[in-house]
Structure 1
Amino acid sequence: MIGRTSDEPHDRGACVETVRFASLIAAMITVGLMSGLFYGFSVSVMPALERSDDRIVIEVMQRVNVAILNGWFLLGYLGALVFTGLALGLHVVDGPDGALVPLIAAFVCYVLAMVVTGVVNIPLNNALEKAGPVDRIADPAAVRRAFESPWVRANVWRTLLCTASAGFLAWALLVQGA
């Protein structure tokens, strides 16, 4: 064949190793972005809103819930799942090594963060949106009470799970010799 060399199996192995490493780096970056996003809400956004009027909390969170649905957010949110899964899959297919256990743990932690988001945060966001425009809400204190505490608790869990996922990815990178 044209272009075939005696080093082809070695080249394939180097290519697979490059893709494994690149997927691991991409996973680390995207999980880190999500961890940072959730951490930012935990240490700044929600504490600032805690000191605010009920209507302000509702209005700000309604706006945040609309603004966050954009391509950059989805790149991080879904990219973290895809890249971590890809890194894990490539380590399973290409032969397990010392990075397999931390990759499994990273993937599980991130999936659990997504479960918390889907089971707690998104339904709370949807309920907040269904409450309607803030100036038409009869009892903003009740709407806030139903939303704020459970959302904050769930966000702490998302933060911890994403941070653990990032830590496991860092461990996998160390094992890979990065």
Structure 2
Amino acid sequence: MSTAAQPALTAATIAMGLSAGLYFAFDVSVMPGLDRGDDRTYLTAMNHINEAIENGLFGLVFIGAFLATAVAGGQLRRIGRRTAARWTWAALGFYTTALALTATVNIPLNRRLAASGRTAGELAELRRAFTSTWVRSNTARTLACTAALVCLGRALASSRH
């Protein structure tokens, strides 16, 4: 493989793995763990998580996965590694799906949660409205990022031939 494509494809694969792992961690531990608590604890912890995740390192991985995948796809196509490029473009499509879910479902729910009322009745209703939609969307993000990671693995493997 061209030395130009290798760093971008490697960076894309690492960033995608980190993204898939983050979403998976929410699916199998964070959300089930929060679900064991009372409404106030659940919603307060979720707000704290949403505030904490907005940081430079997360942003680098979140946007870096997209950018590195796009750059790798372009470089692979340019050097004639068509099969690897196709796998990379497929990964970009899956990751774009995860980004779209984040922008249209999870972030709006997080913002609504942050701006919500805090009476006992409001907390219970808010939790019911928030949880099922947020969890379903996160599971879809996990699947999309995992599919993207598999595609990038295939791109890495096919780029060596």
TM-score (structure 2 length as normaliser): 0.95
Larger Rg: 1
Among 94, 97, 104, the alignment partner of 1:119 is: 104
Residue 104 (structure 1) aligned with residue 89 (structure 2):
yes
Deviation at 1:55, TM superposition (A): 0.7
CA RMSD of aligned residues (A): 1.6
Structure 2 counterpart SS, 1:131? coil
Name the % identity.
42
Match of 2:136 in 1: 153
Q: In the alignment, what sits opposite 1:95? A: 80
Residue of structure 2 aligned with 1:81, choices 66, 70, 74: 66
Matched length: 161
Q: Please name the residue that 1:3 is paired with.
A: none
TM-score of the superposed pair, with normalisation by structure 1:
0.86
Q: How does 1:14-53 map to 2 (within 5 A)?
A: 17-53=2-38
Q: 1:76 to 1:137 in 2, by over 3 A?
A: farther
Asked if structure 2 preserves the Cα contact closer than 8 Å seen for 1:131 and 1:137, the reply is no
Deviation track 1:24-79 (CA, whole Å, cap 9, x = no partner) reads 00000000000000000000000111111111110000000100000110011000
Deviation at 1:137, TM superposition (A): 6.1
* Alpha-carbon separation, structure 1, partners of 2:16 and 2:90: 13
- 2:66 and 2:92 map into 1 onto residues whose CA distance is 7
**8 A contact 2:74–2:85 mirrored in 1:** no
1:170 to 147, 153, 157: 153
Unaligned runs of 5+ in 1: 1-13
Over 3 Å off, 4+ runs: none
Partners of 1:47 and 1:108 in 2: CA distance: 29
